[in-house]
Amino acid sequence: MVGFPFDLTSTYRLGSRKAPQAIREASLNIETNSQRTDLYVGDLKVCDLGDIPTTQSLESALKQLGSLVGEVTEAGKMPVILGGEHTLTYAVAQTLRKEGGVLSFDAHFDLRAEYEGRKLSHTTFMRRVAEKLGSSRIFHVGVRAYCKEEVQYALSKRMRYLTASDLRSKGLTKAISIISGFVKELPAYHLTLDMDVLDPAYAPGVGNPEPEGIDLTLLLDLLHNLRGKGNLVSMDLVEVNPEYDHGETAIQAAHIIFEILCSIEAEKHSYQQRVY
């Protein structure tokens, strides 16, 4: 576990730099059980490496994060990054081995070529990732907010995505089948989860909230049912903004991480489940 306390390119609601500590605090004040696996996070082996040092240079912070993620991955461990602005996913994508891909849960495509004079920011980073990895190795889930430039780019590059509306109309089973088909193609993949994929009713404390998002149960059911479908090697959870709620979003974020970690553990081992 490592925190990325940066929001230097945020363009609407600043404050996600405070997210890592808010998520940690929330994690200490909610129960650690996982309903979907009957496991407890407290029984797992998790190491918190603290935060990437504060700096006024996003490039420097991304370089430090990429180096650390590379070391953790090479050691056979799974890095989990707490953000912080979504640009951090660009640094993690640099560490993916050949043919690795990115599964993104986000309200936004983040595919602009440039924004406010920046080629690398929270609104453009996925365009940079696509240029590095190739558009076929990225899958967007839950998108519902984009400009004309972004959707035209996605269509021209034949990018795969499911909108929030698609998830509701297709249902859980079909959505899992589509997404798992993508991760099965890859030798390894990185999971990035922007909290604004959730409707603001569930996660009001984010940098760029958008209406008509998905609910928390659907998100967790999707993530849990991807267990064993692909080789997940790293993940990040980003864009929690403690300035804009009373801790609810950080609590949701901590719970999501708990469920994902327990699903990973349940995949590795066979545990006795409750009998009904």
Question: Which band of pLDDT confidence, cut at 50, 70 and 90, is reported for residue 223?
Answer: very high
Q: What is the mean pLDDT of residues 189-200?
A: 98
**189 pLDDT higher than 80:** yes
Question: Which band of pLDDT confidence, cut at 50, 70 and 90, is reported for residue 271?
Answer: low
d(CA 209, CA 191): 20
Question: Which band of pLDDT confidence, cut at 50, 70 and 90, is reported for residue 267?
Answer: confident
Q: What is the mean pLDDT of residues 194-223?
A: 97
Mean pLDDT of the chain: 94
> Tokens at residue 192, please?
């990035």
d(CA 190, CA 79): 10
Q: What is the mean pLDDT of residues 186-202?
A: 97
| 54-74 pLDDT, tens digit each | 887 889 999 999 999 999 999
> Tokens at residue 35, please?
């309903």
Return the SS3 of 44. Answer: coil
Q: What is the pLDDT of residue 275?
A: 47
**What are the domain boundaries of the chain?**
2-268
| 67-117 pLDDT, tens digit each | 999 999 999 999 999 999 999 999 999 999 878 999 999 999 999 999 888
**198 pLDDT higher than 90:** yes
Which three-class secondary structure string do you get for 204-260? CCECCCCCCCECHHHHHHHHHHCCCCCCEEEEEEECECHHHCCCHHHHHHHHHHHHH
**270 pLDDT higher than 80:** no
Residue 64 — left, alpha, or beta (φ > 0 → left; ψ -120 to 50 → alpha)?
Answer: alpha
Q: What is the pLDDT of residue 116?
A: 85
**Which CATH number describes the domain made up of 2-268?**
3.40.800.10
| 6-53 pLDDT, tens digit each | 998 888 898 999 999 999 999 999 999 999 999 999 999 999 999 998
d(CA 254, CA 265): 17
Judge whether 206 and 241 are in contact, CB under 8 Å. Answer: yes
d(CA 137, CA 159): 8
Q: What angle do CA 125, 129, 132 make, to 5 degrees?
A: 140
Question: Which band of pLDDT confidence, cut at 50, 70 and 90, is reported for residue 276?
Answer: very low
| 112-147 pLDDT, tens digit each | 999 888 899 999 999 999 999 999 999 999 999 999
